[in-house]
Amino acid sequence: MADESVEEPEVRPYRSWVRGDINLNPSSSSWHPTNRCRTFDELGYLLIPQFATSEEVQSMKMEMVRLVQNEWFPGGKETTTVFRTDDKQIQAQGHSDYFLDSANRIHYFAEVDAVDPTTGALKPEYLGNKNNTKNKIRALNKAGHGLHLQQNSSAFASYTTSSKVGSLLRELGWVDPVVPQSMYIFKQASGVKGGGEVTSHQDSTFLHTEPRQTCIGLWLALDDATLTNGCLWVRPGSHHEKLRRRFVRNPKHFGSALAYDDYNDTAAGVGDRSEPQMIFNSVNINDSVPWEGKLPDNSLSAPECKGLYDAGFIPVPCSAGDLVAFVGTMDHLSLPNTSNGARHTFQLHCVEGEGAGVTWSKTNWLQYPAESTFMKL
C-alpha cells in the first residue's frame, strides 16, 4: 500500500533587513524575497537602472526651476539659510527655525560659499529675478523636505505616488511604507564653489523609528552621476552594523515636550532658547568607523581615492533615471563635484508606518504639525 503521507514543505530561515529574521514557507502565499530583494538584504543597497523615465526626470528638473523662480527670493539672513554636513552642521541646522519648519514644506538651503558670512545675505552674483533663475539655482545646496506633498500635478508628488515606488518598497519587505521627507540635491559644479562632499553617515541617524530601524533611502539620479561629479559611495555590508549616533531635538532647548506650540516661541515645556535646537547623541561608539561625520583619510586623493577603498567603500556611478535604494544603517557618502556641471538628484526617505507596528521617534528633528500625518504609499 502506498504511503499517503504528505511531506511538509521545508521552512527556511531568511534575514530581511526591515522585517528581521523570518521563516519562509514555500507553500505560503505570504511575502517571499525576490532576487532583487535578496541582493538588497545582503549588500544593503540595490541599483535599479532606468527606474524613472526621461520624461519624469525632465519634469522634476523643470518643476524645480519653476519653484525657485516663483518661491525663493533670498534677500536677508532669515531667508538665506545654508546647509552643511561637516563639523559645523549643528551651527548651521541646530540653530535654524527655517530648517526646523521645513518638515512638510519646501524650503531652500544655500551653499555655504554663496552666502556673505558678514551679512548672511546671498552674494550679489547669485541673485536672480523672476525671469532668470540660473544664478539662484547655482547658489542652492538643497530643497526640502516636503516636495512630495505638493499637489496640483507636481512632478515630485506624481513620482512619489506612482505604483512603481510603492511596489518596490513592498518587494523589498516594507509592509506599511510612509514618506517622512523628500529632498532635491543640487551638487553644484566646481566652478561655483559648491558641490562639496557629503560626509559619512547613516540615514537612520536623522530618521529614527521604534522599536526597530526601518528607514530606506530612494536616491534617484536626475543627471548622470560619475566619479568626477560626486556619485554615491556605499560600504556594502555596513547596514548590519548598529546605529552610531542620532540627530535629535534638544530637550534643553525645547523642554520636556520637545516641541513649540505652532512653531512659535511659546514653550510647550521649560526650555532655554540659547541652547541649540538639535544635537547629536552618540548611540554606539564604533572604533572601527573613525570617519563617522567625516571622510576616511586619503578619500580626496582623486582619482585613486585609496582611503575610501581601504575603508570598504565602493562608488555607485549611474545614469539619469537610475535609482539607488539603500537601508538607513548603510554607511554612505559622496565626494565633491569636480566637474563643470551640476549633479541633481531627487531623494525620498521612507519608513514603516504604524500598520507594521512601527512608530516615528518623537525625538527626531523632523516632526509634522499636529493632526498632519506622513504620506502613505
Task: Pick out the chain residues at pLDDT < 50.
Answer: 1, 77-78, 83-84, 89, 94, 262-263, 266-267
The reported pLDDT for the residue numbered 84 is: 46
Taking the CA atoms of residue 235, residue 247, residue 146 and residue 263 in that order, the dihedral angle to the nearest 10 degrees is 180
> How far is it, in rounded angstroms, from Cα 188 to Cα 185?
9
The reported pLDDT for the residue numbered 269 is: 58
The reported pLDDT for the residue numbered 95 is: 52
> How far is it, in rounded angstroms, from Cα 163 to Cα 210?
27
> How far is it, in rounded angstroms, from Cα 344 to Cα 185?
6
- Nearest CA to 236 among 331, 328, 322, 300? 331
The reported pLDDT for the residue numbered 370 is: 84
The reported pLDDT for the residue numbered 267 is: 47
The reported pLDDT for the residue numbered 215 is: 98
Q: Chain-wide mean pLDDT for the chain?
A: 87
Of all residues in the chain, the percent with pLDDT exceeding 70 is 85
Give 350's DSSP letter: E
Alpha-carbon torsion (163, 48, 56, 188), positive or negative = positive
- All structural domains of the chain, each given as residue ranges with its CATH number in brackets, are 38-57+154-376 (2.60.120.620)
The pLDDT tens digits for 53-106 are 999 999 999 999 999 988 888 765 445 665 445 555 455 554 568 888 899 999
CB-based contacts of 178, cutoff 8 Å, min separation 6? 350, 351, 352, 353, 373, 374, 375, 376, 377
The reported pLDDT for the residue numbered 77 is: 46
- Nearest CA to 200 among 309, 325, 291? 291
Taking the CA atoms of residue 342, residue 44, residue 205 and residue 268 in that order, the dihedral angle to the nearest 10 degrees is 100
The reported pLDDT for the residue numbered 165 is: 98
